[in-house]
A and B are shown apart, each in its own frame.
Chain A
Amino acid sequence: MLQVENLVAGYGKVKVLHAISLHVPEGSLVTLIGSNGAGKTTTLRALSGMIRPDAGTIRIAGVDITGLPSHEITRHGLAHSPEGRRVFPVLSVEDNLLMGAFTRLTGSRPRGDVAGDLARMFELFPRLAERRAQQAGTLSGGEQQMLAMARALMLSPKVLLLDEPSMGLAPKLVEEVFATIARLKALRVTMLLVEQFAAAALEVADFAYVLENGRLAASGPAETLKHDPAVRAAYLGAAH
């Protein structure tokens, strides 16, 4: 569904990614793990057009979206729940969700059942239902994370990019976030998950890529990587 070949990207003259290739098949959950500064967030930013790739190709369902501005990439069905959540603080919870469906409400993507999807989001995230009229800026960090994910899902996306959904959350909320990701996987949402919390990501994912200094260091079924001694040593705190 998402096919990336030899992606090179960075900030100005500083290249962060050096020819990354990865593939996210339809209905699967793929995770991209790696240490701080390896280029995980940069990868997602390049995929969704927040930064312009310097080389390589990105395809969604066979359509080349390389170099398009982010609002046009969104119209091709790629949703991105960005690092730091980035909810719209002044808009209400419900309006944040409607913004997620902006392309559907304004005719640049098939409309489908927006009201039904809104109801489903409130079912999936009951906390958001309680706070639907509240300004998003007043939500707690965990609630904002739920909102950012729900807002991205409102696109009814072909591919969902999730950037560090567990960042800065209390352990109990991290569990909740991963439980939600597992539920989305069961619903066959195609996802690319970036996580620093590698153990949990490998637990839930089908397939994993390991990123090191802007290059792919390893890849394989999550189940295999989980038991790979090198990966365990580097990312899973191998001692146990």
Chain B
Amino acid sequence: MDFLILAQLVVSGIAVGMIYGVIAFGYQLTFATSKTLNFGQGEALMLSSLVGLTVVQFTGYWIMLPIVLAFGMVQGAVVERLGVRQAIKTKSESGWIMATIALGIIFKNLAENIWGRDALKFPSPLPEAPIGLMGVNILPMEIVIVLGALAMMLAVETFNRRSIFGKAVVATANDREAAGLMGINTSLVITFSYALSSMTAAFAGVLIAPVTLTGASMGGALGLKAFAVAIIGGLSSGMGVIVGGLILGITETLTGFYLSTGYKDVPGLVLLLLVLSFKPSGLFGRSAIKKV
């Protein structure tokens, strides 16, 4: 019986953890090309999720998905153009931090004015009754979250490895100046990486919304935890964010149950501090191969 409870907690933790992983993956995408992060990533997720809530009433869940993903891309490109490009151009160390936080706050205010401050129910595309699997209850939407998150990361990785444009993204991440000499418009690559990053956040937002709730205040905590995951897993390791996300998701549900929900954020943040102290490049972080 105790084991069943544990298994149940782990299963719930996995779904949340995969969401953290996808958002953290988004942090990696922009960090790779520009060494900058969108600190409004959580608000990007929130905004897209609320746009999804409005769209879903006209189209249903599955047709809403591509629309919200497209919206996420546009939103990310706007963030890069308004908040990041100038900082990169002037080689500002911190301009982009303030600018992306400011844009995040603006998006949050915008959302509060359009959709209000309350948490809202997001219609689930799948039955909301859990499926029993060997005594463990799993929501169908949780399965979609795990598969969807993996599919999204796999799609981006495949694009980077196989297509000429994806390789141009990797080249820009490796050496921006040299990529420019190849004829690659690296500013455009950075805008694109922001678009892709916000698109993954949008995807995470509409995946998690049917399980939790949505609302103008959903972004902050998710963005921050995913940031912790990106640090724990390493900002350069695709594998790391999955493992980091799962570690955080599972420790959260375990702590929430066995200790107190009041402490559920503590283990993840303690882990974050430990990683920063002992392995600052992240558990799976690697330093780039460089040979002269």
Residues of A within 8 A of B (CB): 48-50, 69-71, 74-75, 79-80, 82, 84, 86-91, 95, 98-100, 102-103, 105-106, 108-109, 135, 137-141, 144, 151-152, 155, 168
Whether the pair A144, B291 counts as a contact (CB closer than 8 A) is: yes
Whether the pair A102, B289 counts as a contact (CB closer than 8 A) is: no
Residues of A within 8 A of B167 (CB): 91, 95, 98-99
Contact with A139, one of B175, B177, B291 (Cβ below 8 angstroms): B291
Closest-by-CB residue of A relative to B189 is A71
Closest-by-CB residue of A relative to B185 is A71
Q: How far is B290's CA from A139's CA once the two chains are assembled, in angstroms?
A: 10
Whether the pair B171, A88 counts as a contact (CB closer than 8 A) is: yes
Whether the pair B292, A99 counts as a contact (CB closer than 8 A) is: no
Whether the pair B178, A89 counts as a contact (CB closer than 8 A) is: no
Q: How far is B181's CA from A69's CA once the two chains are assembled, in angstroms?
A: 9
Offer 30 A-B interface pairs, CB within 8 angstroms, sorted by A.
A69-B180, A69-B185, A70-B180, A71-B180, A71-B181, A71-B184, A71-B186, A74-B182, A74-B183, A82-B177, A82-B181, A86-B178, A87-B178, A88-B174, A88-B178, A89-B288, A89-B291, A90-B174, A91-B171, A98-B164, A99-B168, A99-B171, A99-B182, A99-B184, A102-B183, A106-B164, A141-B291, A144-B291, A152-B181, A155-B183
Residues of A within 8 A of B184 (CB): 71, 99, 102
Beyond known contacts A91-B167, A139-B291: 15 more, CB 8 A cutoff: A74-B181, A82-B178, A82-B181, A86-B178, A87-B178, A88-B171, A91-B170, A98-B167, A99-B167, A99-B184, A102-B168, A135-B289, A137-B290, A138-B289, A168-B292
- By secondary structure, the B interface counts as helix
Q: How far is B167's CA from A100's CA once the two chains are assembled, in angstroms?
A: 11
How far apart are B24's CB and chain A's nearest CB, in angstroms? 20
Whether the pair B180, A49 counts as a contact (CB closer than 8 A) is: yes
* Interface residue range, chain B: 20 to 34
How far apart are B159's CB and chain A's nearest CB, in angstroms? 14
Counted as pairs of residues, one from A and one from B, with CB atoms less than 8 Å apart, the total is 92
Residue of A48, A84, A102 with most partner-chain B CB within 10 A: A102
Q: How far is B180's CA from A206's CA once the two chains are assembled, in angstroms?
A: 30
Whether the pair B175, A88 counts as a contact (CB closer than 8 A) is: yes
B138 at the interface (CB under 8 A from A): no
Q: How far is B292's CA from A138's CA once the two chains are assembled, in angstroms?
A: 10
Residues of B within 8 A of A (CB): 164-165, 167-168, 170-171, 173-175, 177-186, 288-292
Whether the pair B183, A84 counts as a contact (CB closer than 8 A) is: no
Q: How far is B183's CA from A69's CA once the two chains are assembled, in angstroms?
A: 9
How far apart are B16's CB and chain A's nearest CB, in angstroms? 31
Contact with A90, one of B170, B177, B179, B182 (Cβ below 8 angstroms): B170
Closest-by-CB residue of B relative to A151 is B182
Whether the pair B292, A102 counts as a contact (CB closer than 8 A) is: no
How far apart are A109's CB and chain B's nearest CB, in angstroms? 7
Whether the pair B164, A105 counts as a contact (CB closer than 8 A) is: yes
Residues of B within 8 A of A152 (CB): 181
How far apart are B284's CB and chain A's nearest CB, in angstroms? 15
Residues of B within 8 A of A103 (CB): 182-183
Whether the pair A102, B290 counts as a contact (CB closer than 8 A) is: no
Residues of B within 8 A of A105 (CB): 164
Whether the pair B181, A48 counts as a contact (CB closer than 8 A) is: yes
Q: How far is B167's CA from A102's CA once the two chains are assembled, in angstroms?
A: 10
List 9 A-B pairs, minimum CB-CB distance, nearest first: A137-B289, A74-B183, A103-B183, A86-B178, A70-B180, A88-B174, A89-B289, A102-B182, A99-B182
How far apart are B250's CB and chain A's nearest CB, in angstroms? 31
A89/B182 contact (C-beta < 8 A), A84-B292, A137-B291, A168-B292 known: no
Residues of A within 8 A of B292 (CB): 84, 141, 168
Q: How far is B217's CA from A196's CA once the two chains are assembled, in angstroms?
A: 62
Whether the pair B180, A138 counts as a contact (CB closer than 8 A) is: no
Closest-by-CB residue of B relative to A81 is B181
Residues of B within 8 A of A75 (CB): 183
Q: How far is B185's CA from A103's CA once the two chains are assembled, in angstroms?
A: 10
Q: How far is B288's CA from A91's CA once the two chains are assembled, in angstroms?
A: 11
Residues of B within 8 A of A102 (CB): 164, 168, 182-184
Residues of B within 8 A of A79 (CB): 181
Residue of B165, B170, B180, B289 with most partner-chain A CB within 10 A: B180
Whether the pair B185, A86 counts as a contact (CB closer than 8 A) is: no
Q: How far is B248's CA from A145's CA once the two chains are assembled, in angstroms?
A: 45
A71/B183 contact (C-beta < 8 A), A91-B171, A168-B292 known: yes
